[in-house]
A and B are shown apart, each in its own frame.
Chain A
Amino acid sequence: MVLDFLMNWLAAIPGFVVPFALAALGLLLIEKAGVLSLGAEGFMLVGALAGIGAILGLGASPLAALLCAALAATLLSLLYAVLVVSLRVNQVIAGLSLVFLAQGLTGLIGTGAGWVNRPVDGLRPVPVPLLGDLPLIGQVVFRQDTVVYLTVPAFALVAWLLARTMVGLRLRAVGDGPDAADTAGIGVSATRYGAIAAGAALVGIAGGYLSVGIARIWVEGMTGGRGWIAIAIVIFARWRPWSALAGALLFGAIEALIPRIAAAGIQVPQYFIAMIPYLATLAVMVWTCLRGGGGSMEPRALGRAHLREDR
């Protein structure tokens, strides 16, 4: 009984981790270039709707739907980039407005196109031959869908990109000291545009995975604050990719546990259970603050617009 519960829980975790992980990874990329990204929830929503829309409207396969999700979020992110990079709008106001814009837009399009509450065929688990037959590990790790398998390589890629390549060095330079980067001949605006577009694509896939991979349905406002939790994960991870994956694991584990608490016969009012992810996020943020700032990789110019003529 306990083992069954544990196995079910563990096997569900990877699916719940993916949205947090990919969203946090995308946000990290944006923020490393010095751009605050409070619009995460908006990118996720747009990705979630685009994924379902691609399946229902275009008959796309689930993986193609995720590409559409990435594309849609990137399109929206270009608007954000124009606002905060070129027009230097306050990044808090722009980010918040973007979330509400996306909430309104997805609500309008989802209802207008009649995509609400229509179940779709989502991603299917792809068991890895041989490894999938292993006891325990096989069920938990090797009987997942393609996106789960690709998440860890995505982290490796971004971590390598940031730490070991010229592109990453420029990106970090722009995030840490845009003035100095500008003097060194790095195009600050172009780098930030690129980081925003690439990061938003990842966040969009995270949103698309929510609708296409997990829920297999579109409901208005279905991201339910996961974008904000992803922002908290980035802060908790101190802008380090692998720590962000650890944070995503924690929240994925919590979220996978929630539907299983009531099923296990534990009597807690359901709305109190629904509060757990948000309270856990708060607790993690408090812990991050108490731990102090040592070793943080926070971009020093985070949230600061750059203009050469300002100097």
Chain B
Amino acid sequence: MDAPSETAPQPARDGAAAARAIPPAHPSRRRLGRLSVGVRQHASARLQGAVLAGGLLTGLACAAAILVAAGIGPADLVQEFVVAIVTSPESAAAVLVQGAPLAIVGLAAALAFRVRFWNIGIEGQMIAGAIAATVVALHDIGPPALRLPLMLAAAALGGSAWILGPVLLRLRIGLNEIISTLLLNYVAFNALLHLLYGPWRDPENNFPNSQLYEPSEQLAELGWQNLTWALPLAGVLLLGGWWLLSISRFGFLTRIAEANPRMGEAQGLPMTRVILAATLASGALAGIAGFMICAGAEHRLTQSFASGYGFSGILIAFLARNSAPGVLAVALFVGTLFVAGQSLQVFYQIPASAVQLLQAVIVLCVAASDFFIRHRLRWLR
């Protein structure tokens, strides 16, 4: 790719050498030709689709190669990742259960990225949200009938409170939000550990997790497999996110904030407020995702309920190009990885981090494939 620079003249040691004309290319190189990289102004939808598919397939192939190298037979891979998901209702339900919070963290990341705010602190916001929801649950705040809505609201508040600091610091003094949101993950995690190993430790068995939520504090089951109301909740939020990003005036403003906030400011558009609203919503969604996992699946606050979701959210938003329908599709795909990864963990002793590796490999391949959309390669002779 950097072939063009190879034909550049040797770095000048002094002014006189620099003033010399560009020497002719080496004869042998001229015979072989060289790769020329040009910028492609317009890529057809077909090309984009083909390149995306190519990147995805390359990523999946690399991921499969890694798992085979880790000692899993190719036949077992197909069994775990494809056959099990398609044929067994348990696995399909598990993908949906897993996909619901993934879609919400993906949406959270997409909202923030839409205003060029790199929210790397999704896990911290999930923890803050889940802690807030657990406060409501443990202290029995409000009547039982309203307990779940209250927990949801508390989670949303907790999540946005956790992102508020980085946003304000970025807007007021230009503090790099990548670092600040990331550091707050570690702070939130230590706060969680403090609570779980201290005041909130389960009195019944002394395990470092909170007491079981009461039935009125758990998301009820839908009646098929182990699906809960987390799924419809995720559906509603995704629908809202789609409206917000693609239909509403706010979505249009986020596009300006993404492309050129200064221009928007000069036009008298409320750019600061748009960035603030989008990022606070992002934090709120992350908090809600934390609530969904705790109230829908774990039924208590646990140590590692948020682990891995932060990166998955970023990856989902990136692959989905920050669009809500895309988030849904990619979240289900990542949910499949999670579910298959869990069974690999149980049956093949593959550590949980392998799922992270697979996601990273896939996203890197897709990101790299973008090059072929944005550039035109030609072989010059």
Mark A residues whose CB is within 8 Å of B: 38, 83, 85-90, 92-94, 96-98, 100-101, 103-108, 111-112, 166, 170, 182, 184-190, 220, 224-225, 228-229, 231-232, 235, 269, 271-272, 274-275, 278-279, 281-282, 285-286, 289-290, 307-310
Given A94-B367, A100-B360, A290-B173, the answer on whether A189 and B179 have CB atoms closer than 8 Å is no
The tally of CB-CB contacts under 8 A between chains A and B is: 169
Residues in B neighbouring A225, C-beta threshold 8 A:
182-183, 186
Q: Determine which of A101, A112, A220, A278 lies in contact with B360 in the assembled complex, contact meaning CB atoms within 8 Å.
A: A101
CB distance from A104 to the nearest CB of B (A): 3
Given A83-B364, A104-B356, A289-B173: A187 and B2 within 8 A (CB)? yes
Knowing A228-B179, A289-B169 are in contact, say whether A89-B368 is a contact too (CB < 8 A): yes
- A187, A231, A232, A279: the one within 8 Å of B5 (CB): A187
For B194, B311, B353, B374, the residue with the greatest tally of chain A CB atoms inside 10 Å of its CB is B353
Known: A96-B314, A100-B360. A279 touches B187 (CB 8 A): yes
With A83-B367, A93-B363, A112-B70 as contacts: A185 and B356 at CB distance below 8 Å: no
Question: Does A184 contact B1, Cβ atoms closer than 8 Å?
Answer: no
Chain B binding surface SS class: helix
Q: Which residue of A lies closest to B6 (CB)?
A: A187
Query: B248 at the A/B interface (Cβ < 8 Å)?
Result: no
Check A105–B357 contact: CB distance below 8 A. Answer: yes
By DSSP majority rule, is chain A's interface helix, strand, loop, or mixed? helix
Confirm or deny: B65 has a beta carbon within 8 angstroms of a beta carbon on chain A.
no
CB of B197 within 8 Å of the partner chain: yes
- The residue that A228 contacts in the complex, of B9, B183, B318, with Cβ under 8 A, is B183
Instruction: Tell me if B5 and A188 are in contact (CB < 8 A).
Output: yes
Extra contacts besides A190-B2, A274-B193 (12): CB < 8 Å? A38-B178, A94-B364, A96-B314, A98-B360, A100-B357, A101-B364, A111-B351, A185-B9, A271-B194, A271-B198, A278-B187, A307-B39
What is the bound-complex CA distance between A83 and B55, given in angstroms? Answer: 13
B186:A271 contact, CB within 8 angstroms = no
Interface residues of B (CB under 8 A from A): 1-2, 4-6, 8-13, 18, 36-39, 66, 70-71, 118, 120, 169, 173-176, 178-180, 182-184, 186-187, 190-191, 193-194, 197-198, 311, 314-315, 318, 349-361, 363-364, 367-368, 370-371, 374-375
Give the distance to chain A from B87, nearest Cβ to Cβ, in Å: 28
- Give the CA-CA distance A231 to B370 in the complex, in Å: 27
The one of B37, B118, B190, B350 that contacts A92, using a Cβ cutoff of 8 Å: B118
- What is the chain B residue whose CB lies nearest that of A293? B174
Whether B190 pairs with A235 at a CB distance below 8 angstroms is: no
Nearest-Cβ distance from residue B199 to partner chain A, whole angstroms: 10
Query: Is there contact, CB below 8 Å, between B120 and A271?
Result: no
